Amino acid sequence: MDWSLLDCGRSGHVTYAPDEPALRDRLSARTSGGTAWRCLRCGTFVTGDPDRTGPAGEAPRVRRGDQVRSALILRIFAIERFLRALLLGVAAYVVWRFQYRRSSIEEAFDRDLPLVRTLFKQLGFDIDHSKLVGLIKHALTLSNGSIRVLAGGLAIYAVIELIEGTGLWLTKRWGEYFAMVATSVGLPLEIYDLTTKITVTRVLFFAVNLALVLYLVLTKRLLGVRGGKRAYEARLRSESIMDAAIADVSASRVTAAAGPATGPAAGPALAADTAALAPDRPIAPG
């Protein structure tokens, strides 16, 4: 499956006319319908005016192939983090409000519990042993100070999940590091939880978090794994259509310069020229 086409289908082709004549020639073609420009993502020649024009160094960095798939996977993780943030945020709010409405909740609980208990008993459930009832009973014994600490803790946790989700959604390197570190910190606790009791939810949460950490470290080459940032960016460059065209132009100039007419001074000058054509460009989101 060509993942580049998925993004082009969704947000359109990305064409760019570089100022450098040699690069213009490589990225454009004359057709009966006029000049066509090569899409920097899927490589298709698209007739019509280019989206933008300017120096090659300012061409948009677009995700291609596997990077499109990777961004998609990270966005699925991001959505999961946003959902967690939402649930934790709601929980923090409910706990916070609880200290002001404690007496009315206590009354309602004492008033309605016998009724609810009878109702559930007829259905075959014994709610006196239910976790939720136990939790509410426990919460009713907490001091206001403990409730505020609990609400604060939940709110901080919600914010952490929100930052993780945002970083993963934007596929920024800081976001990938943040998500990796924040998720790793929770892993020992989750393992401890699993040693005390194995439940489907715990196994599921642990599996999702472990998968995210491994996925980030291995595919994004965090912490210097598989060559680290340098290798990761080299791979991005090797997959870029603009960088391939720049390399082609440089290579053909080297071949031309290698002729007998050229003096020894051509070497360093060419190297400087090539370096100017391929500066480090940040990867544009989207």
Q: Which residues of the shown chain bind Zn ion in the complex (CB under 5 A)?
A: 8, 13, 39, 41-42
User: For residue 185, with 0-12 CB atoms within 10 Å meaning exposed, 13-18 middle and 19 or more buried, which class applies?
Assistant: exposed
Nearer to Zn ion, 51 or 193 (CB): 51
Residue whose CB is less far from Zn ion, 39 or 154: 39
Angle at 31 between CA 29 and CA 35, to 5 degrees: 55
DSSP state of 29: E
Q: What strands, in cross-sheet order, belong to the sheet with 34-38?
A: 28-31, 34-38, 45-47
**Is the CB of 9 or the CB of 134 nearer to Zn ion?**
9
> Closest approach of Cβ 51 to Zn ion, in Å?
11
242, 16 contact by CB (below 8 A): yes
Tell me which residue of 115, 3, 10 sits closest to 67, measured CA to CA: 3
Instruction: Indicate the residue among 64 and 221 with the shorter CB distance to Zn ion.
Output: 64
What contacts 207, CB < 8 A, 6 or more positions away? none
Contact between residue 117 and residue 193 where contact means Cβ atoms under 8 Å apart:
no
CB of 92 to Zn ion, least distance (A): 44
**Smallest distance, Å, CB 59 to Zn ion?**
14
> What CA dihedral angle connects 189, 190, 193 and 194, to 10 degrees?
-140
- Measured from the CB atom, the residue of 64 and 220 that comes closer to Zn ion is 64
Q: How far is the CB of 44 from Zn ion (least distance, A)?
A: 5
Residue type, 236: L
Residue (63 or 84) nearer to Zn ion, CB? 63
Q: How far is the CB of 39 from Zn ion (least distance, A)?
A: 3
Least distance CB 63 / Zn ion (angstroms): 11
